[in-house]
Amino acid sequence: AHENTGLQTQPPPEEQNYGATAAHVGQGPFVSVSRNSPAKRDYLISAVLCYANLINFMDWFLVPGILLEIQKYFELSDGDTGLLHTVFILCYMLAAPIFGYLGDRYNRKIILGGAIFFWSGVTLGSSFISELYYWIFFLSRGLVGIGTASYSTIAPTIIADLFEEGKRTTMLSIFYIFIPVGSGLGYVLAASMADVTGDWHWAFRITPCMGGLALVLLILLVPHRTKRRTAAHRALSISGTIRVAAEKPGVHRTAKTTWCQDVISLAKNWSFVWSSLGLTAMAFVTGALGMWVPLFLYRAQVVQGIVSPCLQESCDSSNSLIFGGITIGTGILGVIAGAEAARRLRKINNKADPLICATSMFISALCLYIALMVAQTNILSTFIFIAFGELFLSVNWAVVTDILLYVVTPRRQSTAIALQILVSHLLGDASSPYLIGIISNAIQGKNAHSFQWSFWSMQYSFIVCAFVGVFGGGFFLLTSFYIEEDRKEAER
């Protein structure tokens, strides 16, 4: 009955065309057919957005890839070094709600194009900063954070608009695969350029060229007006009553709401609240790992006598290369495994998504704790357990976003993503690199300066991440209690 009433109705004119699909939609009453068979251009648009997402996350992780070089060049303590990533994330998260508001109301293509141009230009400029002006380097990382915020907030909503629910999960999974792939390539690119040129500044001169290509592709391939189709088509597929509601006097299909009303509504959505806190725990752990793992491994190797201390000469970047490779591999495997597990388990359990997230967080926390404990005696085991820890963290990326997209009504999705970014980064990866750094500083300050205590201080401060991972699993368990009710509410 749902299909009959839904497919025979034509959506209002303002909902009829999204980019390349416009030609198919207006030709007959069977609106959903074109959405079940997305045009090739929809996939092309998604490919451009995925490529830009790759560059986005490469820029994020250039600094951790050559952290030892930067720390030595600017003569930074652990606390100051952690602050470098915190400045980036703080600017990123503070800008996200602004771009969420703009993305729900204004032309998304123009916002995305401006963002890519801005962050690529600032990244290039940061490669020419001398050691006397370390504060300008801190400032440049903050500006890059502002540029990337608009992209991470808006791009997923365009993909969500292009595809129906089944294909949407798949396409979002592909989009989010480029988070770990881009992150890992950021480490590899930074370390490789520092090795090849003998100057870490060159690490910041490659991604701006890639950003220029992304900007050209965005201009040429993404439609100027990207209509939001998700609301109408999801309603059609669920109830088929949208046309009836639109024709009744006094009934508004998509009533205009203020930003404050949107936020209040989201705060009452418990699935959104708890899953956002679970994502915050994920962000806390990934932020700390991403910033400090290569440096932690270097200190462990110095204590074991595997490598000599890096004092004057150019530092060994093999840890960054290996960790970058691990991040890429586990990221791809994790996102694919998470999406596939969700697809299969949803058929037998409506609460599958949050339960998958909870389980993977608990396993990840255990693996990271073991990795920290064996670091002083066995580096190979440390790499293996870090890899498993990252693998189970990566399982959650696409699943968490999909939870948001089906428990939040479509017209609030950009705002919801922006708020989720704000909370998860403020309490997550904006805090964790700096917190780990100052705990490490405090431990070193109370003990004699030595390579042994330099390692122990980082090891002890890292244990915080294992506990936060356990809390994250608890938040996802709480999400499972509300997810069915909130999903039905969003569909209504």
Task: Give the Cβ contact number of residue 28 at 10 Å.
Answer: 10
pLDDT for 240 equals 31
Highest average pLDDT, of 239-253, 289-303, 353-367, 401-415, comes from 353-367
* Strands (DSSP E) found in 172-227: none
Q: Can you give the pLDDT at residue 164? A: 77
pLDDT class of 307 with cuts at 50, 70, 90: confident
The answer on pLDDT for 281 being more than 50 is: yes
What superfamily does domain 259-491 belong to in CATH?
Answer: MFS general substrate transporter like domains (1.20.1250.20)
Neighbours of 150 (CB within 10 A): 26
Residues 296, 459 contacting (CB under 8 angstroms) = yes
Q: Measured in Å, how far apart are the chain's first and last C-alpha atoms?
A: 17
Q: What count of other Cβ atoms lies within 10 Å of the Cβ of residue 213?
A: 15
Range of lowest pLDDT (28-32, 147-151, 431-435):
28-32
**Nearest partner of 424 among 222, 149, 214, judged by Cα:** 149
- What is the dihedral sign for C-alpha 367, 369, 371, 377? negative
pLDDT of 53 over the 60 cut: yes
Q: Write the burial class of residue 488 (CB in 10 Å: 0-12 exposed, 13-18 middle, 19+ buried).
A: exposed
Residue ranges of E strands in 440-482: none
Q: What rounded mean pLDDT belongs to the chain?
A: 81
pLDDT for the residue 9: 35
Question: Is residue 199 within 8 Å of 77, Cβ to Cβ?
Answer: no
Among 194-203, 229-238, 336-345, where is mean pLDDT lowest? 229-238
- Does 405 score more than 50 pLDDT? yes
Backbone angles phi, psi at 369, to 5 degrees: -65, -45
Mean pLDDT over 355-379 rounds to: 94
pLDDT value of position 13: 36
pLDDT at 144 exceeding the cut of 60: yes
Residue 167 token pair: 């294909």
| Residue 110 pLDDT greater than 70, yes or no | yes
Over 80: is that where the pLDDT of 11 sits? Answer: no
pLDDT tops 90 at residue 390: yes
Overall average pLDDT of the 48-73 stretch: 88
> Please, which pLDDT band fits residue 229 given cuts at 50, 70 and 90?
low
The predicted pLDDT at position 33 comes to: 40
Name the one residue in this structure whose structure tokens are 């090795």.
Answer: 195
Most confidently modeled range among 23-27, 225-229, 422-426: 422-426
Output the six-digit token pair for 100: 């969420």
- Ranges of each domain in the chain: 37-225, 259-491
What's residue 227's pLDDT?
Answer: 56
Residue 370 CA to residue 373 CA, distance in Å, equals 5
Q: Give me the pLDDT at residue 325, please.
A: 92
Q: Tell me which architecture the domain covering 37-225 has in CATH.
A: Up-down Bundle (1.20)
Residue scoring higher pLDDT (18 or 400):
400
Assess whether pLDDT exceeds 80 at residue 256. no
Task: Considering only residues 275 and 163, tell me which one the structure prediction assigns the higher pLDDT.
Answer: 275
Cα–Cα distance measured from residue 52 to residue 361, given in angstroms and rounded to the nearest whole number? 28
Question: Cα–chain-centroid distance for residue 334?
Answer: 14
The pair of three-digit structure tokens given for residue 118, joined into one six-digit string: 């801005």
Q: If we measure between CA atoms, which residue out of 340, 337, 344 comes closest to residue 363?
A: 337
- pLDDT in the model for residue 365: 96
pLDDT of residue 225: 63
Count of CB atoms situated within 10 Å of the CB of 139: 16
Q: In this structure, which amino acid lies at residue 209?
A: C
Predicted pLDDT of residue 278: 95
The contacts found for 140-145 with CB under 8 angstroms, 24 or more apart, are 141/63, 141/84, 141/85, 141/87, 141/88, 141/91, 142/87, 142/88, 142/90, 142/91, 143/91, 143/118, 143/119, 144/59, 144/88, 144/119, 145/87, 145/88, 145/89, 145/90, 145/91, 145/92, 145/95
Same fold, 37-225 and 259-491: yes
239 pLDDT tier (thresholds 50, 70, 90): very low
pTM of the model: 0.73
Task: Choose from 11-20, 28-37, 50-59, 127-136 the range with maximum mean pLDDT.
Answer: 50-59
Question: Cβ atoms within 10 A of the Cβ of 41, count?
Answer: 16
Q: What is the mean pLDDT of residues 96-121?
A: 85
Phi-psi region of 310 (alpha: psi -120 to 50; beta: other; left: phi over 0): beta
Residue 385: the pLDDT is 96
Point out the least confidently predicted range of 13-22, 72-81, 146-155, 160-169.
13-22
Q: Exposed (0-12), middle (13-18) or buried (19+): which is 166, by Cβ within 10 Å?
A: exposed
